[in-house]
Amino acid sequence: MRFKVLNKIKIFDFDDTLVYTDAKINIPNKNLKFSTRQFAKYYHDHPDEDYDYSEFRQGELKNPRPTAFFRTAFKHIVDKNDSDIMILTARPNTEEVKKYLSKYINIDKVIIVGAAKTPELKKKEIGKLLDRYEDIRFFDDSIANIEAVESLNNPKITTQIVKR
């Protein structure tokens, strides 16, 4: 990863925080499929289920559309250039995320970290940044992800729920 010398970082979830897609999470043993929004609610009560994220690993993003937050706030935050920017996504194929974002922003300013598909993995990735940054801001649409990061209980971290 490349990090600038800035003392601040703003971290954004990708799916449903910045972009809506039609990808689904499958629960094979129950023959269920969930949108990311439905999955966030389901996962909160069933964290130990066996999940199939294969639609998020496939090539192109399925019907990507920018969220209101992306259109109204995200681009301005990136353009402000007062902090490092990270996208912390559940998607292991970060090239597709990068390709999509490059249509709207200067992608050279953005660090993209993939495969953080559970709240605990997002918490772990953000925990790795505590020694590098004095100001860490995390934006996510998922209450479970926000709560996991807040459980780090560190004054350097500020969280913000992004409404859908």
Check if the beta carbon of residue 146 is closer than 8 Å to that of residue 138: yes
How far apart are the C-alpha atoms of 4 and 48, rounded to whole Å?
37
Residues 37 and 103 in one domain: no
- On whether both 115 and 97 belong to a single domain, the answer is yes
| 30 pLDDT more than 70 | yes
Could you tell me if residue 2 is inside a domain? no
Q: How many domains does the chain have?
A: 2
Residue pLDDT, tens place only, 76-112: 899 888 999 999 998 888 999 999 999 999 898 799 9
CA dist., res. 104 & res. 106, Å (int): 7
Domain holding 44, by residue range, is 25-57
**pTM higher than the cut 0.95:** no
78 and 33, same structural domain? no
Q: Which residue has the higher pLDDT, 109 or 138?
A: 138
Q: What is the pLDDT of residues 43-82, one digit of tens each?
A: 778 878 888 888 877 768 999 999 999 999 998 899 888 9
Residue 15: pLDDT above 70? Answer: yes
Question: Would residue 1 count as lying in a domain?
Answer: no
Q: Where do the H-state alpha helices sit in 26-129?
A: 36-45, 54-57, 68-69, 75-80, 94-101, 119-127
Torsional sign, CA 76, 79, 85, 86 = positive
